[in-house]
Structures are given as C-alpha cells and as structure tokens.
Amino acid sequence: MSKLSSGPVSSFDSLDGLFDEIDPNGDMSLPSDIKMDRRSFLKVSGVLGAGFVLAFSLMEKANATSSADRPKFNTYIRISPEGSIFIFSKNPEVGQGIKTSMPMIIAEELDADWSDVIVEQSPINEKLFGRQNAGGSRSIASNWDIMRKAGAAARHMLIEAAAIGWCVPANECTTVESHVLHVRTHRKISYGKLASKAATLPIPPENILKLKDSRDYKILGKRITGVDNHALVTGQPMFGIDKVLPGMLYAVYEKCPAVGGTVDSANLDEIRKLSGVKHVFILEGNGNVMELKPGVAIVATSTWAALQAKRQLKVIWDESSASKDSWSSLVKQALVLKKNPAEKILHEKGSVDIAMQKGEKSLDALYSFHFAAHATLEPQNCTAWYQKGSVEVWAPTQSPGRALTSVANLLGIGDDKVTIHQERAGGGFGRRLVNDPACEAVAISKRINAPVKLQWTREDDMAHDFYRSGGFHSFKGGIEADGKIGFLEDHLITFSHNGEKPVIAGAPRQPSRVFPAQLINNFRLSQSLLPLKTTCGLMRAPESNTTAWAVQSFLHELAVAAGTDHLEFLLELMGKPEWFPPKNQYGLHTGRAANVIKLAAEKAGWAKQRPTGRGLGLAFHFSHAGYFAEVAEVSVSASKRVTVHNVTVAADIGRVINLSGAENQCQGSIIDGLSTMLGLEITMEEGRIQQSNFDTYPLLRMSEAPNVDVHFIQGDSPPTGAGEPALPPLAPAVCNAIYAASAHRVRTLPITKEGFST
C-alpha cells in the first residue's frame, strides 16, 4: 500500500491531541493538573461591598515556600450583601446545558434557593480552572467532587457566621433556601446578611465537610430551565456570530476546495475596487491544517460587502500537492481489501480460527458507512484584535485552551500574550474542538492592524470541515449449537493520513474495551488502512457513532440466525452482573447494561404484536461511561418509504444532575442520529467535497422527527454525561426495526443507498 507523501497537508498528528483531552473510554479520575490542593484547596476573601467570595486552587502547591509558588485561586462562588449568589460555570456552553448543570451542583451543596443564583461564564484560564472544554461527556464527571466541596465549604462558613452572631453552637443550625436557621429559637437569617462576616472566617478543612445525602437533594435531579433560555428565545446577542467591537471590520477567507492546494494567483486588484472593500491579500498558511491553510482574505466594512466581493473573487489554485481523494474509488479499494488478510490485528481473545471450524452456523457481512459533516447551525466564526504583540480572541470554541495554544503558535508569541473570551456556540458536535477559524481571524487582524470578525458561509463550513470518517466493517460470526455466539471477527477498513496510523476516530484507541469484545470468548478486531488527505476529526460519540451501528446490526443478524429473540439474545450475551476493566465508570458493568436493555424493551412494548410493515428494533451500546438501550418503532411502505414513529431511550448515567438537560441531550442525540443515518452523506471527488449546503445535505425536518420517550435509571453512581452515549444505539435500532418491518437487512449508510426514502 502506498503512503501519503508529506507536503502542505501537515500536522495531522496534532489531531490526536484532541483525544488526550476528550478520551471517550479513558480513566474518570481527574488529570494531575486539576486535583484539589490537599491543605488549602479553598480560600475566602471579603472585599468592601463584595460580601463573600469563595475560591479554591486546582494546583498542588500546598507546601510552596515562596509567594510565586503558592497556589493561585479561581472564584466559583460570590454572595453579595443583597443576597444574590453568583456562581461561575467554567466550561464552554455549546448547547449541552453545562452552563446550568455545573452551577446546580454547587447550589445544591450550598443549600441555595435557585432563584437567588446568577450564573456567569468564567474567564478562560486553565492554570486556574483546569481543563475548560466541551467534549467527551466529561464536564460533570470531572468536576463533580470539586464543585460539591466548594458548595459545602461555603455553607459551612455561613453556618459558622450565624452561630457566632447568635452565640449558639454551630451544630444547632441548619440551612434552607439561602438562609441559616436556628431551629430551637426559630431564628432565621439570609446568606446575604451573613456574607461579610462569613468572609472573615477560616476555611474549613476538607475532611470535616458534610456533603448532602442524595435523599435530601432539592435541585439535583429536577427539571431546571437553562439559565440562558430567556435570552435565547428573545434573540439577545449571545453567540460568537453576534460579537461587535468598536471600529471592527468584517472578513471572509477563501481556501482551496481541495485540501493541500495553495494560491497561485487571484484577481486582487479587481476586488480592491469593489464597494466596501478595505483590504484583500493572500495568506500563505503555516503548514498546519488545524491552524492556517493558504487562502485569500477579503476585509470590508460589513459582512455583506465582504461576501459580495468573495462571489467575484477568482483564484487560480496550485493543486500539485492537493488531495485527489475519491469516495467512489475508496469504496472499490475497500472491496478488494475485504478479500485480503488484515494488515494489523488490534485485539484478539481466544481463538477465532479454531471456533470457525467448530461453529454450527456462520455468517459474514460487509457494513459500509459514509463520511459526515458536523453541520452546526451557527457557521464557523471568530472575532480577533491584534495589538502590539498581543491578541484578544472572542471565539465560540469547544476548546479554548487549545485555541490559545494554536493562536500563540501561529503568531510566535507567548501564551501570556493571548486572551481568549468564551462565546456561546450554536452547536459544536466536535467541530469546534479545532480552532482554525480563530487562527484565520488572528492572522487577518495582525495583517490589517485592526479588530476583525471573520465569518464563514455554510458553503465554507461544508467544504472545510474536519469530517467524521467513513469506513467499512467486514464481519464474520458464528453461532454454536446452543444458540450462543461462538466467535466474532471484525476486519475494520479505515483511512490514514500517513499510512501508519488511522485518522482520528477512524479506529478504536482502546480495542480491548470496545463493546462487545469483553463478552465474546473468541474475538478478533483487525485493521487495514487506505490513504486519505481529506481532513477528519471528532464527531459526537467518536468511534462509537459508527461502531455501534455496525456491531449492533451484525449482532441482530446473529440473533436471527440463532432463532432467538433479540432481547433475549442481548441479555444472554451480558451474562451475570460483573465489572470489566478498568472497573471504574469507564469499565462495562453487565448488570447495569442488562437493566437498561430490559427497561427500554418494557417501555417500548417489546412483546406487543405489530401490524405488517411495522416493526421494533433494539440496540444497546456502552460508551463515554453511559449505558444506553434504544428501541425504534418503524414502518416501511411497499415503496420502501421509511417512517420512524417512536424511539424509546433507557439510560443509566449515574446521578442525573438536570433532568431537563439530560432529556434534552437524549432527544437531540436521536434527532442528530436520524439526520446522519437516513439521508446525509459527505462524498468527495478529485479532493473536492460534493455537498455544499442543506439542499444537498438535508438535515432532518421537524415534520420527520419521531416521538422520543426517555427513561433514566436513577442511582447513586457518580454522574456521567448523556450528550454522546445517547447517540450510538439509534442507528442500529432503526436498521434492526427496518429488518423487522421489511426483512431487508441494511448494511450501508445512509439508508438511501439501499433504495429507501424518508
């Protein structure tokens, strides 16, 4: 197999760093840079008129001897003398509801009246706040204990302040709805009136903090309206696209439609003469596709003027080193590779070869899935202002820390010269983990020495995405005489930018943990690679979003071959309740898996008979520490028109923080999954993406959306996320339902490739 030559398409390896921050199957424990200081993890200060400010350190420097080495503290809680409770939310808000749910944890332990709480977006400073990103469904899990202890410490100090003022023992006092109560004397005082006194008290040691029993929760587990909802529905400027600075100019940036192309020439003189145009120039790029690709920048007095000028821009591209990728050609190459031995074995358990010889029944099937675009409703944008060797950036990013690093690298300046302001993002799904729009805006601002807002069009977004990779699963499986799985082999055919390792999320990072490898005695996962230059990246539930469809669909094939009901087949596969490595939140527990499978089937009415042409499909997947089973009810007409009527979701994500937000994440995952699987696909020919807007990449319409019924198994397990693990089971559930309704086995996504319509 030929390897891709090096050239202007470079720095693909740096994409792997995204997984270091957002590991879908990694250890739940906090990274070393965000563990609480053992001795002085909290501090408090009282500033004249400010009331009470509680902060804590995320740095382990308790034994520091010099002031320079002592921990720096960030602020999470501020209580004004008037009684307002200000709580920081440190992670980016991209529609997942984290700006509401993270402060809820603090407010619960503080025993605050939620109506007193005002949520603020924290500054971007990872030295103070630890990792600040949105991805991997890890925001809650990584901050759960820290935020509970912050709220509990503030509550403890407020009680102490009241007890001192009343001259009573602190253990006779309690709290309720932003007040401290002395039950015996019926005295009551608000947090606001206690704030200044509490600010003078010593910090309680961590080991004496009393965290609430979940039975006493008043906020957590309830439906809490998003803190930005009113602003959102009234159209207030909140998103990156809304940002305005004094004296700001407006920019667009044209790049080669085939990645790796450079500018040979352009009609710059003609563009300069157009109305509203202030600047037009070529940027060479910095050789890193995640930062700055070569292109032509147009800067004007308005976005409209810039876009009008861009329509008249004529660029001659040098494509000598550009991508020539062709999806149709890649499919043909994959069909050839399918017949050959795999290039590399990723994980093997037992003996597949011996089991193949013993199996009573054997099946083989090739599953093919397409590339996909993120298609965020807010196209990429960024505002930047470069001044005298430093720069400020206003970005709707999922990874502000990486944005800071990328901008500093691009400009060749220190991190301390870059300030990132977090803007709300109109969708992310993994696209905004890459900060190329920020780098483009910064480069343009530096060139013109003025503040500038860069705006991408929908066509730019479609042509220059970091796509979810397509790929192929070539399965072989066997059924033993007792109806159990004898062996399962999965030959994964995916892509590589360098001929040595797969594109990001193109293959599992931890093959031994990929469901259901743990549960099958004779299992083999192997890999072959095809060369690719098209940029790929993380998309909602990376790896799992395609693996679940292929594996769960093939498991249904095996159930049919065994003559076993699919529900019984999956429960049999789970076996007895047990933990699998790493035996923490990211290790599979078969008992929890079985419980959600049974709950989904029960709520969907699995045992009920359906009329001809209508069927149920079931699928389960474990990823991102979430257990999700989903049942789709689907009808298929004689003309192969598919209608998804209902989707039942059963989930175990441990302690649910905001029931409204968690339900919303599940419902959004179902809609997202249906869009991606039913009719959307990204194809490329001669390196150029063939789809350009929603007419050729049609998202699911409201009239096509099914009823989504969500059920959670509430428990006291530490909370995990819902935004990613809810998506993977949807596609196999629908495809298994299509089989139940029509006896047609879907092995290609989107399903329109097999003659279906929606």
- What sign does the dihedral 361-555-551-372 (CA atoms) show? positive
Q: Look at residue 419 in the predicted model and tell me its pLDDT.
A: 98
- Residues 267 and 277: their CA atoms lie apart, in Å, by 14
Strand partners, 484: none
pLDDT in tens, 224-237: 999 999 999 999 99
pLDDT in tens, 40-73: 345 555 443 457 787 655 444 333 334 444 344 4
Mean pLDDT of 157-183: 97
Percent of the chain with pLDDT over 70: 91
Q: Are 398 and 133 in contact (CB under 8 A)?
A: yes
Of 741, 753, 478, 488, the residue nearest 633 (C-alpha): 741
pLDDT in tens, 264-307: 999 999 999 999 999 999 999 999 999 999 999 999 999 999 99
Q: Look at residue 352 in the predicted model and tell me its pLDDT.
A: 96
Q: Name the burial class of residue 52, with classes exposed (0-12), middle (13-18) and buried (19+) by CB atoms within 10 angstroms of its CB.
A: buried
Q: Look at residue 74 in the predicted model and tell me its pLDDT.
A: 54
- Residues 296 and 454: their CA atoms lie apart, in Å, by 13
Mean pLDDT of 582-599: 95
Of 489, 516, 490, 555, the residue nearest 353 (C-alpha): 489
- Residues 610 and 639: their CA atoms lie apart, in Å, by 19
- Residues 68 and 31: their CA atoms lie apart, in Å, by 23
Strand order in the sheet with 179-182: 173-176, 179-182, 187-190
Q: Look at residue 716 in the predicted model and tell me its pLDDT.
A: 85
Q: Look at residue 22 in the predicted model and tell me its pLDDT.
A: 63
Q: Strand 52-57 relative to strand 42-45: parallel, antiparallel, unpaired?
A: antiparallel
All domains of the chain in start order, with CATH: 31-233 (3.30.365.10), 240-321+386-455 (3.30.365.10), 327-372+467-754 (3.30.365.10)
pLDDT in tens, 78-132: 899 999 999 999 999 999 999 999 999 999 999 999 999 999 999 998 888 888 9
Q: Look at residue 130 in the predicted model and tell me its pLDDT.
A: 82
Residue 16 has pLDDT above 80, yes or no: no
Mean pLDDT of 193-202: 89
Q: Strand 471-479 relative to strand 361-369: parallel, antiparallel, unpaired?
A: antiparallel
Mean pLDDT of 665-670: 97
pLDDT in tens, 461-487: 999 999 999 999 999 999 999 999 999
Mean pLDDT of 705-709: 97
Helix (H, G, I), strand (E, B) or coil at 116: helix
Q: Look at residue 21 in the predicted model and tell me its pLDDT.
A: 64
Q: Name the burial class of residue 547, with classes exposed (0-12), middle (13-18) and buried (19+) by CB atoms within 10 angstroms of its CB.
A: buried
Mean pLDDT of 648-665: 97
Mean pLDDT of 144-160: 92
> Per-residue confidence at 504, pLDDT binned at 50, 70, 90?
very high
- What sign does the dihedral 252-253-257-263 (CA atoms) show? positive
Mean pLDDT of 505-516: 92
Mean pLDDT of 369-391: 97
Q: Look at residue 204 in the predicted model and tell me its pLDDT.
A: 86
- Contact partners, residue 220, CB within 8 Å, separation at least 6: 104, 105, 108, 214, 655, 656, 657, 658
Q: What phi and psi, each to the nearest 5 degrees, are found at residue 146?
A: -60, -45
> Per-residue confidence at 524, pLDDT binned at 50, 70, 90?
very high
> For 184, what's the count of Cα atoms within 13 Å in the CB-facing half-sphere?
9
Q: Which of 134-148, 154-168, 563-577 has the lowest mean pLDDT?
A: 134-148
| Number of neighbouring beta carbons within 10 Å of residue 381 | 25
Mean pLDDT of 312-328: 98
Helix (H, G, I), strand (E, B) or coil at 699: coil
Compute the C-alpha angle 528/530/460, nearest 5°: 135
> Per-residue confidence at 27, pLDDT binned at 50, 70, 90?
very low
Mean pLDDT of 604-629: 96
Helix, strand, coil percent values for the chain (each to nearest 5): 35, 25, 40
- Residues 291 and 280: their CA atoms lie apart, in Å, by 20
Q: Are 659 and 100 in contact (CB under 8 A)?
A: no
Residue 538 has pLDDT above 80, yes or no: yes
Q: Which of 83-97, 127-141, 574-588 has the lowest mean pLDDT?
A: 127-141
Q: Determine the residue type at 164.
A: I
Of 569, 617, 618, the residue nearest 596 (C-alpha): 618
Q: Look at residue 436 in the predicted model and tell me its pLDDT.
A: 98
Residue 7 has pLDDT above 70, yes or no: no
- Cite the DSSP H helix spans in 78-209: 98-110, 126-129, 139-166, 191-198
- Residue whose structure tokens are 């993270």: 102
Helix (H, G, I), strand (E, B) or coil at 677: helix
Residue 634 has pLDDT above 60, yes or no: yes
Mean pLDDT score across all residues of the chain: 91
Residue 149 has pLDDT above 70, yes or no: yes
Mean pLDDT of 330-354: 96
What is the DSSP secondary-structure string of 344-384? EEEEEES-HHHHHHH-SEEEEEEEEE-BB----SS--EEEE
Percent of the chain with pLDDT over 90: 84
Q: Are 471 and 494 in contact (CB under 8 A)?
A: yes
> Per-residue confidence at 10, pLDDT binned at 50, 70, 90?
low
Q: Look at residue 457 in the predicted model and tell me its pLDDT.
A: 98
Residue 2 has pLDDT above 80, yes or no: no
Q: Look at residue 502 in the predicted model and tell me its pLDDT.
A: 97
